[in-house]
Structure 1
Amino acid sequence: MKLSAKAFKDWDNKCITLLGMSGVGKTRLAAKLRKRNWFHYSGDYRIGTRYLDEPILDHIKQQAMQVPFLRELLRSDSIYILNNITVDNLQPVSSFLGKLGDPEKGGLGLKEFKRRQELHRQAEIAAMRDVPGFIHKAGEIYGYRHFVNDAGGSLCELEDAPTLKVLADHTMILYIKANEKDEQDLIHRAEEDPKPLYYREAFLDELLEIYLREKKLSYVAQIDPDDFVRWSFPRLFQSRIPRYQAIADQHGYTLSTDELKEVRDEAGFLRLVEKVLERQA
């Protein structure tokens, strides 16, 4: 939604969606606000605990069944497995998404990789469409005054206009734009610790064609999973920037990571938002 600085200041029950690449500070900001009467809605947490809970558990059980000792215990119902997903620990979601490539190195085949990507896409759409209901719950059940939606970095990839409309109708969308140094830091972090990523299918197909040609590989099973993530991350990052910006231009506002770093508390964040609204009026 679009508001003037005055209207935002007078908004009794503020509802905000934080948009941007993973690592730009969305969750850190949400954690600060959580201490000051803001309900922290984590899209990735909702995905993992509600919409991908069963597929994640199935994946873990498949791995456990490969260990003879655990296999017999599972088959006899002597043990059970549960996810331990928290807002601060989303590793099971990431592990389920997986990496593409050589199965000997923990990679997934293309068909299975795309299946999980699509499951994640549908789960993220569902989680974002749950936002209005959780805004109501935040106030009516838990007694929070304000609401912050900590959206996943792949929100801009969904290509689902109705979902964006839901967010724009019920929240103010703030795009946190990384400066050049922060972009390079995020790329360096991905090189040091390559994590599973979500790709639009058409974009993934484009990347695969280029990667296989550049690396002189014949098929997906020859791909080193970590190398593909390192190679693809900068390209994915650059492809997302105009997508984030288009959402912010149509539905919300843009602030920089430089500005966000100056925020120490809720009051500082509210002052920053008012400044951004005045600047982009």
Structure 2
Amino acid sequence: QEQFRQAEISALMDTGYFIERAERLYGYPNFICDTGGSICEWVDGDDPGDPLLTELSRHCLLVYIEGSEAHTAELVRRFDRAPKPMAYQPEFLARMWEEYLRENKCKADEVDPDAFIRWTYARALAHRQPRYERMAKWGVRVSADEVAQATDAARFDALIATAIERRAD
């Protein structure tokens, strides 16, 4: 977990370098930094001096894609079908571990890792939601439904322009 945290933070802190490189090497005039969901575990959206959010904001417009309950249910369904590794704050993971052991009346060496991670996933999404909300103050908001309608570059640009206008209101 700690190794992943450090790697993700380091990669995100290099965003400015990657933007410059993409333009210099490939002539890309635009750059989308699609972070993993675990970014919310490493930042404090309430801290105006948060180092990672400050650095990202220097180079990018942060866009929070807000999902509905139906989107969350779909994420949980997909995860249940094909679990993937996730990064968690150590305190959250320890709390979930103890809760899982208690709820399932089992010992640590009896835990099915896949069952534990599936059990934890929906709780992790709920845990992260307020963190995403605090991060959203650093940029603009769009709904997942709006993003689904942005099927080409012009529609995507229009969506972001609309989100910027909404923020200004």
TM-score (norm 1): 0.56
Deviation at 1:233, TM superposition (A): 0.4
The match for 1:147 is 31
Q: Does 1:119 find its partner at 2:3?
A: yes
> 2:159 and 2:25 mapped to 1: Cα distance?
29
2:66 maps to what in 1? 177
What does residue range 219-230 of structure 1 map to in structure 2 within 5 Å? 219=108, 221-230=109-118
Give the alignment of 1:1-281 within 5 angstroms: 117-159=1-43, 161-219=50-108, 221-249=109-137, 251-281=138-168
Alignment correspondent of 2:47: none
Pairwise CA distance, 1:140: 2.0
**Residue number in structure 2 paired with 1:44:** none
Alpha-carbon displacement from aligned partner over 1:63-106 (angstroms, at most 9, x marks no partner): xxxxxxxxxxxxxxxxxxxxxxxxxxxxxxxxxxxxxxxxxxxx
1:169 aligned partner, one-letter code: R
Q: Deviations over 1:184-229 (max 9, x none)?
A: 011111112222211110100110111110011122x211011011
- In 2, Cα distance between equivalents of 1:129 and 1:122: 10
Residue 58 of structure 2 aligns to a residue whose secondary structure is helix
- Between 223-232 and 132-141, the greater mean CA deviation after superposition: 132-141
Cα deviation, 1:39-64, whole Å, max 9, x if unaligned, reads xxxxxxxxxxxxxxxxxxxxxxxxxx
Gaps of 5+ in 1: 1-116
Cα RMSD (Å): 1.1
Q: Deviations over 1:15-38 (max 9, x none)?
A: xxxxxxxxxxxxxxxxxxxxxxxx
- Give SS of 1:280's match: helix
Q: Provide runs of 4+ in structure 1 moved above 2 Å.
A: none
Structure number with the higher strand fraction is 1
The structural deviation recorded for 1:119 is 0.4
Q: SS of the residue aligned with 1:144?
A: coil
- Percent identity, please: 41
Structure 2 CA distance for aligned equivalents of residues 248 and 165 of structure 1: 13
**AA in 2 matched with 1:166:** E
Task: Select the structure that is richer in helix.
Answer: 2
| Matching residue's letter, 1:187 | V
Query: What SS does the corresponding residue of 1:255 show, helix, strand or coil?
Result: strand
> 1:189 corresponds to which letter in structure 2?
R
- What is the deviation of 1:254? 1.0
